[in-house]
Amino acid sequence: MSFPMPEPKLNQTPGDKSRYDQRFAGVLGEHYDLRARVMPYHEQFQDTVKDTLADFAKKHPEASILKVLEVGCGTGQTSIRILEADPRIKVVSVDTDEKLMEKAKKVLADMADRIEFIHQDILSVLTAMPDQSMDAMASGLTIHNFTTEYRLEVMKEVARVLKSGGLFVNADKYAFDDPEAHAKSLKEQIDSFEMFDTMHIPGLDIPKLKKGWVEHYQEDEKTKITESEQIKMLEDLGFKDIKVIFRESMEAVITATKK
């Protein structure tokens, strides 16, 4: 399962509108999976994506293949759940971070025949895809990294490439609409990084890791998206049955169906 792709844009600068590919350089990328250890609901959060796709697949018993676009594979934590949801699922997974993608490839080596990794800008990949060519789009902790303008362009393309009845499921950071509630959850998450102090990993610079994550979360504030903003965007782009099916602190899972 592949699509004709434009020339890749792999060397974007930190000022590029997508912003994503520079956000996990250094210690954050090298030890990305440690973030899950200070997120007590991480497994439930990720499993919600799997369960949602499994339910979607059950509604399509006639399909021999279900094509799923994954926006941002990271280290494969969401990717593996997408694949486990149903054996008919085939994934096109796009990410600009080559080091994280290499980790994902190792995690998913036993499922390599069902996933195509594309090391490229997601918007470039989307614009090369035919209309209504994908059954679902799934993503985990990626889209919030995009700038507001870039995120909207990506979402417009997602709406175009999804089939009628196609599924949108995004497990991501969504700010509370209430500023006080958001500030409280942000403080709680930053405070949670103190748990890194309990880890004893040879060669790991814990203070540097903590500082990196704090700065990452502070940077996220520049382009945060709230629940209501995401819901309105989906409505405007022709989605229905929009639901927040999981919420813990700053993380939420939002699902929708393309009309």
Residue ranges and CATH numbers for the domains of the chain are: 20-258 (3.40.50.150)
Residue 28's closest CA among 215, 227, 160, 192?
215
CB 26 within 8 A of CB 151: no
Contact 83, 89 (CB under 8 A): yes
pLDDT for 70 equals 99
**Ramachandran region, residue 9 (left: φ > 0; alpha: ψ -120 to 50; beta: rest):** beta
Mode of pairing for the β-strands spanning 89-95 and 115-119: parallel
In this prediction, residue 72 carries a pLDDT of 96
| pLDDT tens track for 77-89 | 999 999 999 999 9
* Alpha-helix residue ranges (DSSP H) falling in 72-138: 77-84, 98-107, 122-128
Contact predicate 76/103, CB 8 Å = yes
Q: CA 31 to CA 230: how far, in whole Å?
A: 29
Question: What's the pLDDT at 9?
Answer: 36
Note the residue count of the chain. Answer: 259
Q: What is the pLDDT of residue 38?
A: 83
What's the number of CA atoms in the CB half-sphere (13 Å) around residue 189?
Answer: 26
Q: Tell me the whole-structure pTM to 2 decimals.
A: 0.89
Region class of 175: left (phi > 0), else alpha (psi between -120 and 50), else beta: beta
pLDDT at residue 13, rounded to an integer: 32
Q: What is the pLDDT of residue 33?
A: 80
Q: Which residues of the chain have pLDDT under 70?
A: 1-27
